[in-house]
Amino acid sequence: MPDSFVIQPRGAAPVTGAMDAAPEPLRLDPAFGPLIAHIDDAVTDVFVNGPAGLFVDRGSGADPVSGWRASEREVRDLAVALVGLGGRHLDDQAPCVDVRLDSGIRVHAVLAPVSTMGTALSIRIPRVRAADLEALAALGSFGARQQAWLLGLVAERANILITGGTGTGKTTLLSALLSEVPATERIVTIEDVAELRPRHPHHVALEARQANVEGAGGITLARLVRESLRMRPDRLVVGECRGEEVRELLTALNTGHDGGAGTMHASGLRDVPARLEALGALAGMDAVALARQAVSAFTVVLHLDRAPGGVRRIRQAGRLVMAGDRLDIEEVTPW
């Protein structure tokens, strides 16, 4: 059996300059077993719902794979093998595990009976073809005027908050923006599971660590944000704000760390203030303190969605403002 199976991305354009090599082809370990036949360069996500079915997403939503057959034991063994590739252990004592493989693939597994329909696998495939703004523009994510505006935000060291639902391309756009940062600057990214892979010669990635079964050894995003401030970052980035780390990020962006960025789940641009307030509450911040920090911290909010045809795009841009003592947002059209 070969050591790995290679998926060569179609249409991957070379990048000139310090990062002059095209993205490496995705390599699938033999542990992916029966899934290999269903993963090509167009696939962004793979879902195994116990023995009930296999679904793949090629950018237009999850589609069922006809003819898929697997027993619960086979799916569980597959999940254990894939989690093992990431150096983690999956069993009845730790039935929910999230890992990142060396290839950049992210695997989330939940064993039965926690997953009532049988062992569930959610696999995120990195978008190797969308490594820079040029590639994203070619895919229809934004037009030429929007692209020029985005390049200006990077050059002006704007602090950017990228929002949107699951699978709208937040991480992909953030990676593309970071790829435009001057090569002389140092980027430090902080993520729950490291997915950001900008084409940049000086990128340091920090990844949170879950506690072991004894409850020891965990390293939170909030702690990593504090640690990163001692690493002299020129650009400080939190891959996804989902808890108390929003306090540390806001503090950092309000104390001279320009050019930073973060992403956050939100259903719409108008939902961003309430979402930030909810995260601030988890960090012990009241609504007034959160509003003042957020307005000062972020230059612009970019909200993404998926068009009916599956294209991930910048739907709206906004600016956080104060409305009395509460946080609000105004839509802007800078392009």
We report the CATH number of the domain holding residue 189 as 3.40.50.300
246 and 221 assigned to the same domain = yes
137 and 110 assigned to the same domain = no
Tell me the mean pLDDT in the region 140-153: 93
> pLDDT at residue 130 above 80?
no
pLDDT per residue as tens digits for the range 161-211: 999 998 888 988 999 999 999 999 999 999 887 788 899 999 999 988 877
165 and 296 assigned to the same domain = yes
141 and 273 assigned to the same domain = yes
pLDDT band with cut points at 50, 70 and 90 for residue 15: very low
Domain boundary among 124, 143, 166: 124
107 and 149 assigned to the same domain = no
Residue 183, classed as helix, strand or coil, is coil
Domain boundary among 89, 124, 159: 124
Range of the domain at 237: 133-332
Q: How many separate domains does the chain show?
A: 2
143 and 106 assigned to the same domain = no
CA–CA separation, 321 and 32 (whole Å): 48
144 and 233 assigned to the same domain = yes
| Residue 1 pLDDT | 37
| Residue 131 pLDDT | 62
Tell me the mean pLDDT in the region 127-136: 70
Residue 63, classed as helix, strand or coil, is strand
Mean pLDDT of the chain: 86
pLDDT band with cut points at 50, 70 and 90 for residue 213: low
53 and 162 assigned to the same domain = no
Give this prediction's pTM. 0.77
Instruction: For 241-270, give one letter per residue: b (16+ CB within 10 A) or e.
Output: bbebbbbbbbebbeeebebbbbbbbbeebe
118 and 49 assigned to the same domain = yes
> pLDDT at residue 129 above 90?
no
Tell me the mean pLDDT in the region 119-123: 96
Instruction: For 147-181, give one letter per residue: b (16+ CB within 10 A) or e.
Output: bebbeebbeeebbbbbbbeebbbbbbbbbbbbbbb
| pLDDT above 90 coverage of the chain, percent | 56
272 and 158 assigned to the same domain = yes
CA–CA separation, 125 and 298 (whole Å): 30
46 and 79 assigned to the same domain = yes
Tell me the mean pLDDT in the region 263-269: 94
Six token digits for residue 188: 């430090």
CATH at 42: 3.30.450.370
Domain boundary among 101, 124, 147: 124
| Residue 127 pLDDT | 59
Find the largest Cα–Cα distance for the chain.
Answer: 66
Is the separation of the CB atoms in 189 and 237 below 8 Å?
yes
Query: Where is mean pLDDT largest: 101-105, 123-127, 204-208, 305-309?
Result: 204-208
